[in-house]
Amino acid sequence: MSLVTIIWSMIASACLTLAAISFLTWGRNREAWANLFFSLLAGGTAAFAFCELGMMRARTPAEFGTVLKWGHVPTWLILVSLVGFARFYLKAGRTWLAWLVCGLRTLALVLNFLVGQNLNYREITGLRHISFLGESVQIAEGVPNPWMLVGQMSLLALVVFLMDASVTVWRRGDRHRALAVGGGAMFFMFFSTVQSVFVFWGIIRIPITASLSFMCLVLVMGYELSSDTLRASELARRLQKSEAGLHEIEERMRLAVEAADFGVLIRDFTRNEMWASDRWRALLGFSETERLDLQKIFERIHPEDREAVHLMVERARSGYGVYDADLRVVLPSGEVRWVATRGRVEFDGAGKPAFARSVAHDISRQKKAEDETQNLQRELAHAGRVSMMGQLASSLAHEINQPLGAILRNAEAAELFMQDKSPDLDEVRAILADIRKDDQRAGNVIDRMRGMLKRRSLDKRPVDVGELVREVAALVRSDAAARHITLELTVAEHLPAVLGDPVHLQQVLLNLIVNGMDALNGATRGDRRVWVTAALDGPKIVEIAVRDSGPGIPADQLTHIFDPFFTTKPEGMGMGLPISRSIIEAHNGRLWAENRTGEGASFRFTLPIAEQEFAK
């Protein structure tokens, strides 16, 4: 087989292979128009290579002419697909130039079939044998067809189009593509244009070898395309890898969420959809397939919590962005469950809520434990009050018997007055008024005692400090008198109300005052005093101090006095101060002890003022 046949066949087969590959690629991805045009370009080149081979091997001028005529069809295909490829691959090139190239070429193709033997020759007069690559091949001799100019104009227009497109791509910054694709196409197109001009106008006598340039063009384009494909596959590989990583992260998240026993709820505002993990559904008593909506979820929330949760979610949705709440859920079975939920709302560019993501978990056990702790503390506080009332029992009985005694004596006196023939009614009226007054007095003492003895949870509200101090003073007054102790109360004027439970605060104050009085047991008669003072300590805090004129707290005991069961009193339980401290801490305050310089101990505690007072 001759070298020419081998080379041209190889060109054709290489181009066909590339065309097939590229066509298949387009087949898989119909949007890869560049691949389709490349495939047509390569196919056209292969066809043209056969035509060239046919011309070189033509035996008669007529055969040469016919092959050349049909060779214009692949040429048309090559040009049009090159324009298409440039447009889609480079995304450049002026539209009018593209249309000009295609129009001229189509016109040339039409002329090819209408005018003369073919576009290039009006008539082929003979064939000449020339030596090419060491063998004899045919070239034509005849009258050139002037309409050939149209075809050559189209080639020129294509070169201009490609140049313009390359410049655009260069300016865009993609210099590699501009040079390799634009420049390459331009170079090989220019080369084959020049060759065809020289050959067909009879200036030089060589066979047409345009398919060689076209193949080079195809190879350059093919290289570019395949490197793009390589890059794409590299990207795909990386994507896969990162997807695997993402999956790993997802797995870890899922594991963490499951381990923490968290339920997850995601709400898509734009699509108005909700997705919840199985755990979340189980938490709120929804089945795994039940469709969720906001209404259904709210129906599960305990009626007492619904309003607050609604407000909180609304606030998060209208821009605050986060919510966080412990709430009660009532399951269809009637079981009540405590659920802690924390959520975040994501907003789109326009500031509208896009997604809300939240986690929820069961905190019923913690809540139960908290409740139990609170119950215990409440019981302990109550026990403390009962024990303190026990200590004060004798004084309190005295406090009650005082008005009762007065009532009895007044009643007896009134009876006597009424036995008179003309009783002094004014006196009797005065007696009745006094009886009423004393009854009220006894009732107050009983109310105070009952308040202290009642089992109750912490019920915070604004408490007037002056009233608090006076109430407690009323409870211990009689005891203080019996023990020759002077109680001095100093409450600063215009003190704001503090936030607290009046009974619990009374208990603390009572405990501190009784302790102060106990500290005076060994003191001489002359100076047995307990001072109670209340004053502002900063704008938001009220400090109440109980000081005594006793010997003070021994230094080695100062750190232990708040320990449970630490006591210095023979009948003491050692729970008074620990209870008092826990009460004050439950009020967000502080309770501490110090020795006054010189003499006596001082117990101080702070309480936050009630918020509405502060707001004033």
Partner 1 sequence: MRDAAPIVYVVDDDGSFLAAISRLLRANGFSVRTYSSAHEFLAQREADTPGCVLADLRMPEMNGLDLQTALVQSPNPLPILFLTGHGDIPSSVRAMRDGAEDFLEKRAPKEILLDAVKRALSRDSRERSARERQRELRSRFDTLTERELEVLSHVVRGQLNKQIAGDLGLHERTVKLHRTAITTKLKVQSVAELTRLTQEAGMFPELVQTLPKG
Number of residues that bind partner 1 (CB under 8 A): 31
Q: Give one DSSP letter per residue of 406-420, joined into a string.
A: HHHHHHHHHHHHHTS
Q: Is 115 in the site for partner 1 (CB under 8 A)?
A: no
The alpha carbons of the chain give a radius of gyration, in whole angstroms, of: 52
Contact letters for partner 1, residues 439-458 (x by CB under 8 A): --x-----------------
Closest to 491 in 3D by CA, of 538, 541, 545: 545
Query: Smallest distance, Å, CB 487 to partner 1?
Result: 9
Q: Is 549 in the site for partner 1 (CB under 8 A)?
A: no
Q: Which of residues 370-429 bind partner 1 (CB under 8 A)?
A: 394, 397-410, 412-413, 416-417, 427
Query: Smallest distance, Å, CB 418 to partner 1?
Result: 10
Distances in Å between the Cα of 69 and the Cα atoms of 208, 225, 299 are 13, 32, 83
- The piece of 94-102, 357-365, 435-443, 583-591 that touches partner 1 (CB under 8 A) is 435-443
Query: Smallest distance, Å, CB 442 to partner 1?
Result: 11
Residue 83 to residue 239: CA distance in whole angstroms: 33
Contact letters for partner 1, residues 472-491 (x by CB under 8 A): ------x-xxx-x-x-----
Q: Is 29 in the site for partner 1 (CB under 8 A)?
A: no
What are the strands, taking DSSP E only, across 529-598? 529-536, 541-548, 591-595
**Exposed/middle/buried for 123, CB within 10 Å: 0-12, 13-18, 19+?**
middle
Name the residue nearer to partner 1 (CB basis): 322 or 416: 416
Q: Are 578 and 591 in contact (CB under 8 A)?
A: no
Phi and psi at 399, nearest 5°, equal -60, -35
Name the residue nearer to partner 1 (CB basis): 472 or 577: 472
Name the residue nearer to partner 1 (CB basis): 352 or 437: 437
Among 52, 362, 438, 548, binds partner 1 (CB under 8 A): 438
Instruction: Show the tokens assigned to 2.
Output: 């001759």
Q: Would you give the DSSP letter of residue 527?
A: G
Name the residue nearer to partner 1 (CB basis): 3 or 481: 481
Q: Is 562 in the site for partner 1 (CB under 8 A)?
A: no
Q: Is 191 in the site for partner 1 (CB under 8 A)?
A: no
Q: Is 594 in the site for partner 1 (CB under 8 A)?
A: no
Residue 78 to residue 373: CA distance in whole angstroms: 88
Query: Smallest distance, Å, CB 463 to partner 1?
Result: 28
Residue carrying the six token digits 């002077």: 486
Name the residue nearer to partner 1 (CB basis): 244 or 425: 425
Q: Is 470 in the site for partner 1 (CB under 8 A)?
A: no
Distances in Å between the Cα of 40 and the Cα atoms of 33, 76, 584 are 11, 11, 89
Residue 76 to residue 150: CA distance in whole angstroms: 12
Q: Are 139 and 155 in contact (CB under 8 A)?
A: no
Q: Tell me the helix, strand and coil percentages in the chain, rounded to 5.
A: 60, 15, 25
Query: Smallest distance, Å, CB 485 to partner 1?
Result: 9
Q: Helix 148-172 crosses helix 184-200 at what angle (to 10 degrees)?
A: 160
- The piece of 192-200, 210-218, 350-358, 437-445 that touches partner 1 (CB under 8 A) is 437-445
Query: Smallest distance, Å, CB 438 to partner 1?
Result: 6
Residue 85 to residue 137: CA distance in whole angstroms: 34
Half-sphere exposure (CA, 13 Å, Cβ side) for 323? 25
Query: Smallest distance, Å, CB 478 to partner 1?
Result: 7
Q: Is 204 in the site for partner 1 (CB under 8 A)?
A: no
Query: Smallest distance, Å, CB 532 to partner 1?
Result: 16
Query: Smallest distance, Å, CB 404 to partner 1?
Result: 6
Instruction: Show the tokens assigned to 367.
Output: 């809540």
Query: Smallest distance, Å, CB 408 to partner 1?
Result: 5
Q: Which residues bind partner 1 (CB under 8 A)?
A: 394, 397-410, 412-413, 416-417, 427, 431, 434, 437-438, 441, 478, 480-482, 484, 486
